[in-house]
A = this chain, B = another copy of it.
Amino acid sequence: MNINFFQSIYDHPLIQRNDLNVIMNTHERINFSKGSLLLKNGKMANEYYLIESGLLRAYVHDFSGNEITTDFYCANDIAIEVSSLFQRIPTKENIIALTNGIAWKIDFEKFQNLFHSIEGFREWGRAWMARQLFISKQRKIEMLTKSATERYKELIKDNPAIVQHVPIKHIASYLGITDTSLSRIRKEILFDL
């Protein structure tokens, strides 16, 4: 078990080395295989996962039943459904594995203990939430101000792994367009690349 992996994720000035050990030992290693569901619509999230390797996709169903991809999780990301986990309510999201992979799981009760017993951990947690909120806001603004083409180009730049491994229709719903349109956009920007 690699301490650098945990250190890069639980990165906060108030988390001491021995705190990190406690935190590490609270996680459990799991393997997931392509197609398996880590979280299912209607259930309550009881854990979250640090992704060591592999690729996951989160999605919801819109009013007419179409899958809308809300997030991708890659190595070093945290796969989590905050709303369900922290409000103790059933989720509307699904998290499914797009590839095989390895993750480190921590469940809510253990998280809760760390949160209330380690000051650095709860500072980290709050900062993490703040960052997520910032990212979410940013993405919202980008949806408003940027064209689908620009958003796709940025995805290529920031997250090439996703573009390479994920079916177009999922990327399209993530970008908020149809797969038809994305197909055309891809054709368009071939010249730029």
Check if A126 sits within 8 Å of B86, measured CB to CB.
Answer: yes
Seed contacts A62-B145, A122-B122, A133-B136; 16 additional CB < 8 Å A-B pairs: A68-B144, A70-B137, A82-B129, A86-B126, A87-B130, A115-B122, A115-B126, A125-B126, A129-B130, A129-B133, A132-B133, A133-B133, A136-B136, A136-B137, A140-B143, A143-B176
Does A5 touch B at the CB level, under 8 Å?
A: no
Check if B82 sits within 8 Å of A144, measured CB to CB.
Answer: no
Check if B145 sits within 8 Å of A144, measured CB to CB.
Answer: no
> Could you list 14 A-B pairs, sorted by A, with CB under 8 Å?
A63-B145, A70-B141, A85-B130, A87-B127, A87-B130, A87-B131, A115-B122, A115-B126, A116-B122, A126-B129, A129-B133, A136-B140, A143-B176, A145-B176
Q: Oligomeric state, in number of copies? A: 2
CB distance from A109 to the nearest CB of B (A): 14
CB distance from A123 to the nearest CB of B (A): 9
Closest to A112 in B: B123
- A interface list, Cβ under 8 A from B: 60, 62-63, 68, 70, 82-83, 85-87, 115-116, 119, 122, 125-127, 129-134, 136-137, 139-141, 143-145, 173, 176
Check if B143 sits within 8 Å of A82, measured CB to CB.
Answer: no
CB distance from A115 to the nearest CB of B (A): 8
- What residues of B have a CB within 8 angstroms of the CB of A143 in the complex? 140, 143-144, 176
